[in-house]
Amino acid sequence: MNVIPINRRTRKLGTVSAPTVTLAHGGGGKAMKDLIDDVFISVFDSDGQGALEDQARIDLLGLTKLGDRVAFTTDSFVVDPLFFPGGDIGKLAICGTINDLAVGGAKPLYISCAAIIEEGVEVDLLRRIARSMAETAREAGVRIVTGDTKVVHKGACDKVFLTTTGIGVIPEGIVLGADLAQPGDVVLVNGYLGDHGAAILGARGDMAIDSPILSDCAPLDGLISQLLAAAPRTRAIRDATRGGIATVLNEIADASRVSIVIDEERTPLRPEVKGFCEILGLDPLYLANEGKLVAIIPNNEANAALQALRAHDLGRDAEIVGEVTTGEAGRVTMRTVFGGMRIVDMLVGEQLPRIC
């Protein structure tokens, strides 16, 4: 299956000689063409066609061979700083879009990218971001097929904002939804929680630490495919990004009208993340993740699901952290290490702004 080429002639790509972006690079003329060619087309256009029409044209027959439904998602990325331990805004944008498709059971295929660039940004910085996007997409088997570029006055945005849209196909028979959880189901996560939020916090210089925590930023489509093969009756999968695992569990409990109980002792957290949170008064259950999923699995498939997750590099530290119960509908609680229970409510506001 391919994006259908408009023509087969290779177009000569322009190059940027200026060290920084100017308003002319967003003006629609040669300067803009050169910026797009140099920074984006040179790494995104794997076919070398460079046709540059106003849309990507996709083989519809090829899509239908992969499944019976199209999944479609969009997201914007305004992370500060642009580069952080374990990733950057480009990798984050591709992984975030892939994961939004994959948690619905879809095979991610195509991505578009729109970039809003602040006047004065170094062109080399844009090249680094674009290369990171291209490498991440290539590793995941996804193509970046269309996009847009805008340049705004200095101070109108913070260096670079990205908006990505993804298209994938859901294979026949896969049905996942936050409203499908049932009492008796178990709650799984694929590893340590809160790493991304802690990594961003550390990268901002708010905490001086000798061993920086790496963001967990990663594409989860391969892991999810492995999970669904082992546990085909999986009820729901969500990626625990902004608002963390606590927000995801509250959304599932509310949508399914069930209660969820998680166990503090079984919830995987790095000691460094716990330390961050204790010093700053943050709750790690609300910290953002960019490579972690929450899965609701029927009890009789739980062991198979856990083993499938642990067999994958991105799920080696997977754990069963809780269960779905018949308690108060929409309520999430945690069984603490002291034997008590505490309510885990929906996040109000934002613990850490601009983490993705």
Question: Would you kindly state where each structural domain of the chain is located, as residue ranges?
Answer: 23-170, 186-343
Instruction: Write the pLDDT tens digit of every residue in 340-355.
Output: 999 999 887 767 788 9
Helix (H, G, I), strand (E, B) or coil at 245: helix
Superfamily of domain 186-343: PurM-like C-terminal domain (3.90.650.10)
Q: Cite the DSSP H helix spans in the chain.
A: 30-35, 42-44, 60-66, 89-102, 123-140, 195-203, 221-230, 244-256, 271-280, 302-310
Consecutive 10-residue averages of pLDDT for the chain (356 residues)? 55 86 91 92 70 83 92 97 96 98 97 97 97 96 95 96 98 96 98 95 74 91 98 97 95 98 96 87 93 98 98 98 96 95 85 83
Do the domains 23-170 and 186-343 sit in the same CATH topology, yes or no? no
Those residues whose C-beta lies under 8 Å from the C-beta of residue 60, and which sit 6 or more positions away, are none
Q: Letter for the amino acid at 356?
A: C
Quote the pLDDT of residue 264.
96
Look at residue 177 in the predicted model and tell me its pLDDT: 97
Is the bond into 81 cis (omega within 30 degrees of 0)? yes
Tokens of 249: 């569990």
- The string of pLDDT tens digits covering residues 68-123 is 999 999 999 999 999 999 999 999 999 999 999 999 999 999 999 999 999 999 99
Q: What is the pLDDT of residue 45?
A: 76
Residue 207: the pLDDT is 62
pLDDT for the residue numbered 202: 86
* In contact, 186 and 227? CB cutoff 8 Å: no
Q: What is d(CA 51, CA 234) in angstroms, rounded to the nearest whole number? A: 42
Tell me the CB-side half-sphere exposure of residue 241, using CA atoms within 13 A.
24
CA distance 199 to 129: 18
What is the 8-class DSSP label of residue 107? E
Could you please state the CATH topology (level 3) that the domain comprising 23-170 is classified under: 60s Ribosomal Protein L30; Chain: A; (3.30.1330)
Which tokens sit at 162? 């990205």
